[in-house]
Structure 1
Amino acid sequence: MTQDQGALFRTLHRPGDPFIMANAWDAGSAKMLVAMGAKAIATSSAAHAFTLGRPDGGTMTRDEALAHAQDLIAAVPVSVSGDFENGFGHDPDTCAETVRLSAEIGLAGICIEDTALPDQNPYPFEQAVERIRAASAAARALSQDFVLVARADGILTGSYDIDEAIRRIQAFDDAGADGLYVPLPKTVEDLRRIVQATSKPVNALAVGKFAKLSVAEFAETGVARISLGSALARVTHKAILDAGRAMFDQGDLTPLLNVASSSEIDAMLGS
């Protein structure tokens, strides 16, 4: 990998011309996604938690997240970004330290949300902004480029509305965030409002009703990046659920006929 993955990663963020940031959960899934055309890989906190046999939502440590990210960085030649929940601590200094540690292992950027995990309530407005301000200052002090994305998760968690989400991302923008992210606004029109509220690149999440949109339709909203979150990992877990229920409830092994070609997967993993 080249030295400044952050600079390469930044060039992918073009409002109105979004790339798909493919969230992987292990080296194999990362290599397959890149072989199929992914321009960048991200971790997924939920998908990573599943690999550890844990539920999503503040169940892993920073050291675990960093080690997992290192596995993906070593596996692929493209930029890797970290889905790093609340930065693994409540105070601004911890967020700043998380940025520095992330850069040290070669991450091109990270995303920090405003939910006070493991609790589902958001941080108070001023604290949320100070956390991003500290993280941004740490990013700007690095010797390499680093893309810091600030997430306002209150719509996702049901904690606040679109107006508060926009208030927060505008404050995060002013605090130095490189990109903004409001997961799952209620409507596509709300997503457009979010994009119009900032001059910075906006990330959208292709989950639920938003997975019905094409990349071209996302482009029309003005977003710069489309994340998969844990959706692709959940697709694989749906296959396990369907096959397992057929096998253990009905004695039906036929779901095992619907498998990917070994030669095709081997070719991707060997690339």
Structure 2
Amino acid sequence: MTHPGETFRALHIAGDPFILANVWDRGSAKMMQVMGAKALATSSAAHAFTMGRPDGGTLTRDEALAHASDILSVATVPVQGDFENGFGDNPEDCAETVRLAGEIGLAGICIEDTILPGDSPYNFDLAVERIRAAASAARALSDDFVLTARADGIMIGTYDTDEAIKRLQAFADAGADCLYAPLPPNMDELARICRSVDKPVNALVAGDFAANSLADFASIGVARLSLGSALARVTHRAIYDAGQQMFGGVFSALQNGISSDTIDEMLKE
């Protein structure tokens, strides 16, 4: 039987991107699978929202692992954990997070280069050593495991695309399997990132990037499309808009919901 990590790795083909559907509970996981998801991922932001917390370093490693285990309990496709900065500043923290993620059956995890809580990036050398330790732990696992290394500075506004590329190239040399710099300035810069590295590149479909098609991303060499918290925020938009209307005395937004029969059909065992 093929291990989820091996299945997950095989999905990463430059120029033929698959959608990594970020989910936040068993229901959203089952719905995405029924609708065709080839792989799922947790979302630290969406998970935080379910806990009544803001995004950005408000989750513990134990909470993230328990949440991922909950998703895994209904998953029929590989699952990646969005594990923020690896839940610690030191390389060994990242390595331990990889080991624990492998133990619960995740096909991979994503580790970013931001000091949480906060927006400052780890200095270059430490950022690379953290990924090197995580990659070493991944290779020591008994089953295949896809390590994604994130350079978040463009999205946060702490460094530019050139620095992101420098970091991604170093992360690849340190053993990362997939590379990710969320929300570069435009598609041309995303294409430059893809050309600058020799490992599969993940792109975040959020904000202005959501105006592009799957074919657009394929044409520039992207291998994987993740949603981050975008899908969760669509649901929160619906809650917000309905609540604004409802507490203003009007209830017509409540007529727009999907039928319970449709949901029941998607969630049945």
| TM-score normalised according to structure 2 size | 0.99
| 1:3-29, Cα deviation, whole Å (9 max, x unpaired) | 611000001101000000000000000
Aligned to 1:114: 113
Identity %: 66
Q: Which amino acid in structure 1 is aligned with residue 181 of structure 2?
A: V
Cα distance in structure 1, aligned partners of 2:179 and 2:224: 10
Aligned to 2:251: 253
Q: Which amino acid in structure 2 is aligned with residue 267 of structure 1?
A: E
| 1:103-122, Cα deviation, whole Å (9 max, x unpaired) | 00000000000001102100
Do structure 1's residue 155 and structure 2's residue 154 form an aligned pair? yes
Question: Displacement, 1:261?
Answer: 1.3
Aligned to 1:176: 175
Question: Displacement, 1:212?
Answer: 0.3
Q: Which amino acid in structure 2 is aligned with residue 152 of structure 1?
A: A
Aligned residues: 269
Let me know the Cα RMSD of the aligned residues: 0.7
Cα distance in structure 2, aligned partners of 1:4 and 1:87: 23
Gaps of 5+ in 1: none
Aligned to 1:164: 163
Cα distance in structure 1, aligned partners of 2:3 and 2:38: 15
Do structure 1's residue 269 and structure 2's residue 267 form an aligned pair? yes
| 1:82-132, Cα deviation, whole Å (9 max, x unpaired) | 000000000000000000000000000000000011021000000000000
Aligned to 2:33: 34
Aligned to 2:103: 104
Q: Kindly report structure 1 stretches of 4+ aligned residues shifted beyond 2 Å.
A: none
Tell me, what secondary structure is at the counterpart of 2:6? helix
Tell me, what secondary structure is at the counterpart of 1:75? coil
| TM-score normalised according to structure 1 size | 0.98
Do structure 1's residue 221 and structure 2's residue 220 form an aligned pair? yes
Q: Which amino acid in structure 1 is aligned with residue 151 of structure 2?
A: A
| 1:210-258, Cα deviation, whole Å (9 max, x unpaired) | 0000001010110100000000000000000100000102x00111111
| 1:66-87, Cα deviation, whole Å (9 max, x unpaired) | 0000010111210000000000
Do structure 1's residue 73 and structure 2's residue 75 form an aligned pair? no
